[in-house]
Amino acid sequence: MALKQYNPVTSSQRQLVNVDRSGLWKGRPHKALTFGLSRTSGRNNLGRITSRHRGGRHKRLLRIVDFIRNKDEISCRVERIEYDPNRTVFIALVKYEDGEYRYIVAPEKVKIGDSLVSGQKVDVKPGNCMLLKNMPIGTVVHNVELKVGKGAQLARSAGASIQIMGRDGAYVLLKMPSGEVRLVRGECRATVGVASNADNQNRNDAKAGRGRWFGIRPQTRGISMNPVDHPHGGRTNGGRHPCTPWGISTKGHKTRRNKSTGKYIVRRRA
């Protein structure tokens, strides 16, 4: 997909750069694979705000996407490629030979009418799904499993890809987009190719109202508050590191809690 720029008829269109979605399906999604998505507006089960600056987005239907791709040795045909408001990557509606429909993450260079297949070892072409241990070294993949049979957890967003670097016994060496190299079981599945909509990173929303459609409410900077409202408040932030309203530092704050998987990381990201 290419990028789309607009003639600035209004001021909100002056910097607007969007992804051209003219080639995507313009109708409603496949009804059997959708259900209503309730909105929480950042509130938990007690009604208390746990994620600030959320609320007021457009209604959405959740598309059930097949991240497991376990329908082996049965080819499917790409019926159409659709926009999914719940993720940055495009999704493809495929129809299997037995008549079943499923949504999958649409790979780059896969077109309507293409035939795809999953299995233990299949042709290495974009859109096909197979075991990591059966893929040639150097293959670029996306939708990678971390646990056998759980479904894809890595490289699922727009333009994401992972490269197979080598093998180490029962494990496969994968190079992440961040530069990190880690071990994953060879029995895990992955899809060949790069995830679609790589131009998503080049979008420019051009106005705050576009963020409101996605449920992002305005934020007030801490430095513009009073000292009683925020640690950064007052005429100066006191020369302290950036922090939350409750004084928790956000500069280099560690977010990775599961340290037991550190043994699978061969090289840390830069």
List, in order, residues 6 or more apart from 51 with CB less than 8 Å away: 42
Cα(137)–Cα(157) distance, rounded to whole angstroms?
A: 23
- Asked, for residue 22, whether it belongs to a domain, the answer is yes
Backbone angles phi, psi at 100, to 5 degrees: -80, 140
Q: Is residue 20 part of a domain?
A: yes
CATH of the domain at 193: 2.40.50.140
- Average pLDDT over every residue of 161-181: 96
pLDDT value for 1: 67
Rounded to the nearest integer, the mean pLDDT of the chain is: 94
| Distance separating alpha carbons of residues 86 and 203, to the nearest angstrom | 17
Residue 242 CA to chain centroid, in angstroms?
A: 28
Residue 149 lies inside a defined structural domain of this protein: yes
Question: Over the stretch 91-127, which tens digit does the pLDDT of each residue have?
Answer: 999 999 999 999 999 999 999 999 999 999 999 999 9
129-138, 171-180, 240-249: which has the minimum mean pLDDT?
A: 240-249
Tell me the Cα Rg of the chain: 22
Structurally, the chain folds into a number of domains equal to 1
**Domain region containing 112:** 3-201
Q: Dump pLDDT digits (tens) for 205-261.
A: 999 999 999 999 999 999 999 999 999 998 776 678 888 999 988 888 777 888 898
Cα–Cα distance measured from residue 139 to residue 193, given in angstroms and rounded to the nearest whole number:
8
The answer to whether residue 246 sits within a structural domain is: no
Tell me, yes or no, whether 265 lies in a domain.
no
